[in-house]
Amino acid sequence: MLDALQAAGYRVRALARQRSERLRGSDVVVGDLRAPGELRGALEGCRYLIHCAALYTFSPRDREALHHVNVAGTAGLLEAARLAGVERAVVTSSSATLGPQRNGRPADERDWAEGGASSAYHHSKLEQERAAFMSGVPAIALLPTAPVGPGDAKPTPTGKLIRDFADGRIFAMPPRGGLNVVPVEDVARAHVGALEHGKPGERYVLGGENLTLDELWRILAELTGRPLPSWRAPYALALGIAHLDELRCRLLPDAVPFAPLEGVRMSRERMFVDASKARRELNFAPGSARDALARAVAWYRGATV
């Protein structure tokens, strides 16, 4: 994001939780979305706000924090921006707020996921969007699908899937669902496009290629040289394992889920989207999903050498 903004000629004041080598040379403010009131001073003199920070996790221990960071943090940050005189905001939401394709039609900006209660993370993103549009700052919501590429160090659940496959930790094919994969660099550039061409109050889906999970696994097998798993996990078995993993994580607060319940539930859905609106209005032109996956695999392998 920082690279895309600077390449477009913007002077950036970046928010970070701590000082980072990655942000050296930038105007950096250290702060926390759980204390948004302290950020008003940092927003003074800024014309625009791009809010792409979020807590992205399926861990049971983080469910309360999801609301504090993604929902209350967004509302508080936009109120601080209003008081500081910010003219417009671009808020990064998630395509999960759309739900899966319906009757064979890929989801688009007209769609809203039903309730979102089955996933604390996805529900928090629904509430985040509503908070953004109710704020006093003209806001544009961007809904990326599954961004992939280099630099996902944490990693996100999508990055963990790629890393685990590259490391040979995937032992079974998933249920026959699907997802949309988009290069992370194109998602970053789309934020600049939204800042310059987006319409306040509008949502824009940022999607690349719709892939079945089988197609995704085959691409990763070719890129990593790893064999495809020899058997497919039945959905009922995967769901049972996910419930046991959920219980393990509740009993051991520091545990990290290896079979997130939300992820397993989504694995039988076709999370396909139509990004035509962003292509038309934001000049959004996503590149090859395969190339993005190749860059992600190469980055993870380089990072572990």
Domain residues for the domain of 185 are 2-303
Sequence-separated contacts (24+) of 39-44 with Cβ below 8 Å: 39/15, 39/77, 39/80, 40/80, 40/83, 40/84, 41/84, 42/13, 42/15, 43/80, 43/81, 43/84, 43/86, 44/84, 44/85
Q: What SS3 class is residue 50?
A: strand
pLDDT tens-place string over residues 166-225: 999 888 888 888 999 999 999 999 999 999 999 999 999 999 999 999 999 999 999 999
Nearest to 182 by CA among 210, 163, 222: 210
Q: Which of 5-14, 107-116, 130-139, 292-301 has the lowest mean pLDDT?
A: 107-116
Residue at 235: amino acid letter: Y
Count: domains in the chain: 1
Can you give the CATH number for the domain in which 237 is found?
3.40.50.720
CA distance linking residue 227 with residue 217, whole number of Å: 10
CA separation for the pair 276, 280 (Å, rounded): 6
Cα torsion at 18, 19, 23, 28 (round to 10°)?
80
pLDDT in tens, 59-98: 888 888 899 999 999 999 999 999 999 999 999 999 989 9
Q: Tell me, what amino acid is at 116? A: G
Predicted pLDDT of residue 114: 77
Instruction: Report residue 42's pLDDT band, with 50, 70 and 90 as the boundaries.
Output: very high
* pLDDT score, position 41: 92
